Amino acid sequence: MTTQVIVVERDVLAKARTSAEEFRRERTAAGTLVVNLVSSPGAGKTSLLQATARYWQGKRKVAVLVGDLATDRDAQRLAPLVEVVQMTTGGACHLELPLVERAFQRLCEPAVDFLFVENVGNLVCPASFDLGEHLRVVLLSVTEGDDKPAKYPKMFRTSHALVISKTDLLPHVPFSVAAAAADAHDIQPQLPVLPLCAITGDGIADWCQFLEDQRHKMLVHQA
Amino acid sequence: MHEYSLANALAEQVRDIARQHSATAVTEVVVAAGPLAGVEPLLLASAFEQVATDELLYKARLIIEQVPLTIHCDMCESDSELKEFAFRCPHCAADATRVVGGDALILRHVVLCQPETEGTPA
């Protein structure tokens, strides 16, 4: 027997990233902006999607792929508004591209303007996995505390926008939007910060405009 | 516990390399992980132990090297190692920095066992 050292120097997730690039390219060509929504459990991802779908009802084509460990409750909440496919992950703490691709195949009308992927509620594991999204948006609800960006740097570093949700509760909780934004900007200096409340509708117009702008950039960049 | 996913991806990549080189076994797998790799070394080691049970991998020793978090500044073109998660350029305070090291799990090298090739003197 002989031994041989093989030098590799390759990212372990490089293969997965190549597949994600391909999915992203295909969606770009179809004019679909893919948004990966990440947050802790209960930060309001589904409520935000309900408010977004209502705002765009009849104006923009939207579909949602929603991931949860168990139940299809989020899908049930969204189904009256948009086409939605539930991904039940069993025990998995994050989504990976093959799950997203399989769910995407099940959409009746995949050629939408905006495809949202609602990730499993978790600020740790989903940070490592490219789902072929154009935008990763992290939600932080004011009841969670403004220290989350500093505690979960990878998630905030890899996100393209920060939504601060449940702003109607600001008078009742010790949460500083400025402090959360400052910590987030240490990690990602150019991160856009979008405060909103899905229940009252405050900030939803700005959020939707932000997404429209991002989709416009994608289309122009592609052309 | 996404370390299982990473351990699976790592094991798959190592098996591919072993097969390409007609190895009979892998004895060492060396990876590098930095502060933003999202990897807890103890959890990765235990996950790898559980997925690397096949004939090719069961002897493999996993070595996890720690590498620093490094950014490149697009304004002043400097590279800096970060001690904290503060990503503005320490030299010119520019916002536009890119992480160039320490944000991924990198497979550095593997050590393979191969049978003697034909024609090699015994």
With a pLDDT cut of 70, the percent of chain A lying above it is 100
Residue B121 has pLDDT above 80, yes or no: no
A93 touches chain B (CB under 8 A): yes
pLDDT per position as a tens digit, A134-191: 999 999 999 999 999 999 999 999 999 999 999 999 999 999 999 999 999 999 999 9
Q: Which residue has the tokens 């909440």?
A: A77
Per-residue pLDDT band for B122 (boundaries 50, 70, 90) equals: very low
B13 touches chain A (CB under 8 A): yes
What is the number of CB-based contacts under 8 A between chain A and chain B? 107
pLDDT per position as a tens digit, A29-62: 999 999 999 999 999 999 999 999 999 999 999 9
Inspect the interface and report whether the beta carbons of A8 and B109 lie closer than 8 Å: yes
Residue A89 has pLDDT above 90, yes or no: no
Q: Where are the alpha helices (DSSP H) in chain B?
A: 3-20, 41-51
Residue B119 has pLDDT above 70, yes or no: no
Q: Are strands B25-33 and B105-114 parallel, antiparallel or unpaired?
A: antiparallel
Inspect the interface and report whether the beta carbons of A94 and B116 lie closer than 8 Å: no
Residue A9 has pLDDT above 90, yes or no: yes
Contacts of B101 in chain A (CB under 8 A): none
Contacts of B105 in chain A (CB under 8 A): 11-13
Nearest-10 crossing angle of helices A14-29, A97-105: 30
Report yes or no: A86 and A72 within 8 Å, Cβ to Cβ.
yes
Residue B71 has pLDDT above 50, yes or no: yes
Show the tokens assigned to A62: 């939207």
Q: Are strands A33-38 and A114-118 parallel, antiparallel or unpaired?
A: parallel
Residue A219 has pLDDT above 80, yes or no: yes
Element (H, E) at A23: helix A14-29
A119 touches chain B (CB under 8 A): no
Report yes or no: B88 and A190 within 8 Å, Cβ to Cβ.
no
- Closest-CA residue to A96 (of A72, A123, A127): A127
pLDDT per position as a tens digit, B81-99: 999 999 999 999 999 899 9
With a pLDDT cut of 90, the percent of chain A lying above it is 91
Report yes or no: B48 and B17 within 8 Å, Cβ to Cβ.
no
Report yes or no: B23 and B113 within 8 Å, Cβ to Cβ.
yes
Inspect the interface and report whether the beta carbons of A186 and B87 lie closer than 8 Å: yes
Mean pLDDT of chain B: 93
Element (H, E) at A27: helix A14-29
The three-class DSSP label of residue A133 is: coil
Report yes or no: A148 and A157 within 8 Å, Cβ to Cβ.
no
This prediction's pTM? 0.93
- Give the gyration radius of chain B's Cα atoms: 19
Closest chain B residue by Cα to residue A190 = B95
> Hey, of A2, A12, A125, which one would you mutate to test binding to chain B, going by the most B CBs within 10 A of its CB?
A12
Least reliable range by pLDDT among A17-21, A63-67, A87-91, B61-65:
A87-91
Inspect the interface and report whether the beta carbons of B107 and A7 lie closer than 8 Å: no
A182 touches chain B (CB under 8 A): no
- Give the gyration radius of chain A's Cα atoms: 18
Neighbours of A113 (CB within 10 A): 17
- Closest-CA residue to A54 (of A207, A159, A219): A207
pLDDT per position as a tens digit, B33-47: 999 999 999 999 999
A11 touches chain B (CB under 8 A): yes
φ and ψ of B90, to 5 deg: -65, -20
ipTM of model:
0.89
